[in-house]
Amino acid sequence: MRLRRILGCAAAAIIAATTAGLTAGAASAGTVNPYKSVTTHQRHARDLRKVNVTIPGTRLPSLKLANSASVKNTGSATSTNWSGYVDEACSTCSLRYVSADFTVPHLNPANSPDNSWAAHWVGLDGATNSTVEQAGIDTYVSGGVDYYYAWYEMFPAATQVYSLAASPGDNIQVSVYTVSGTYYLTLNDTTLGAGLTATATVPAGYTGQNKSAEVITEAPSEVSGSSLVQLPLADYGQVNYNNATVTSRSGTHGNLGSTSLWSGYAVKMVGSSKTTLSTPSGLLNGTNSSGIPVSDFTVGWRAAS
């Protein structure tokens, strides 16, 4: 399968964290809650707390194909706001599970303008359609200090945000799994001993197609007046993603590289001025202790905007 050169109308369906904007004709995310339940665990009450704050939201990418993928070769693409890896399912396939670990990066305030952000997440959908089922962490710099939020989101419904007492170097494990239209989004800070598992469905008026899986570092966006503005990308240095794995609807396991069931793409983030903002390394493929194929890779910061 070839990744679409530029997403069409789906790319216009964008939302900030507290905006309930859906495409015309769909039910409002403000009146239909797709989040059914959530369980949390933490050693101390301060480690993970649900908070009512606004954070910048996910924006669907306009992925531009650079090199096509084949069964044995990973393709490449560019995006203005995503970097990492995208697996696109074949026309008759879908995906039911994606997971990866990553290390919380240390932000460099010297290269990070005030109100600069970096989001690191794992999810299903979004590369070629208008929903994303995802979980991850946001890191940002304000007043020379870095902060961390954990979150999960059934885009385009509002993001559910938690204050996370994370530290650089913490190990984060994220997985998204779907069965019979229900999604299970799990995030654990295994170093801190805190995490959550949310049960959800896609917002009313939408269908979770499960046509792609992603492991992504993103420059989030926020609403400013009537416009959606991409924020500067905080200097996160390098994020190490490990043990990334994908499972198809039929139960076939694979790493992030291309297979007969999905095509893998390395995605480089390129700003509006054609400056490279963030770029992934190649994949280091192997198997975990259970014999399941996995991928390791890094994503490196290059510029804020």
Identify the residue whose tokens are 């979150």: 151
Dihedral (CA of 147, 184, 286, 263) sign: negative
pLDDT of residue 224: 86
pLDDT of residue 72: 76
Q: CB count, 10 Å around CB of 227? A: 8
Identify the residue whose tokens are 């990744």: 3
Identify the residue whose tokens are 């964290």: 17
Asked whether the beta carbons of 206 and 130 are under 8 A apart, the reply is yes
Distance of CA 27 to the CA centre of its chain: 24
Asked whether the beta carbons of 104 and 164 are under 8 A apart, the reply is no
Asked whether the beta carbons of 207 and 155 are under 8 A apart, the reply is no
Asked whether the beta carbons of 194 and 41 are under 8 A apart, the reply is yes
> How far is the C-alpha of 46 from the C-alpha of 42, rounded, in Å?
8
pLDDT of residue 8: 31
Secondary element (H or E) of residue 47: none
Asked whether the beta carbons of 1 and 128 are under 8 A apart, the reply is no
> How far is the C-alpha of 175 from the C-alpha of 153, rounded, in Å?
13
Its pTM stands at 0.90
Asked whether the beta carbons of 238 and 301 are under 8 A apart, the reply is yes
Q: Please, which residues have CB within 8 angstroms of residue 289's CB and are 6 or more apart in sequence?
A: none
pLDDT of residue 32: 66
Strand partners, 116: 141
Asked whether the beta carbons of 147 and 116 are under 8 A apart, the reply is no
pLDDT tens by residue, the chain, 305 residues:
333 333 233 333 332 332 333 222 233 444 468 999 999 999 999 999 999 988 998 899 989 999 999 887 899 999 999 999 999 999 999 999 999 999 999 999 999 999 999 999 999 999 999 999 999 999 998 888 888 999 999 999 999 999 999 999 999 999 999 999 999 999 999 999 999 999 999 999 999 999 999 999 999 999 888 888 999 999 999 999 999 999 999 999 999 999 999 999 999 999 989 999 999 999 999 999 999 999 999 999 999 99
Q: Radius of gyration (Cα) for the chain, nearest Å?
A: 18
DSSP letters spanning 155-178: ETSPPEEEEE---TT-EEEEEEEE
> What is the SS3 assignment for 246?
strand
Q: Identify whether 156 is preceded by a cis peptide bond (ω within 30 of 0).
A: yes
Nearest partner of 134 among 100, 185, 84, 86, judged by Cα: 185
Strand partners, 257: none
pLDDT of residue 54: 84
pLDDT of residue 2: 32
Q: CB count, 10 Å around CB of 167? A: 13
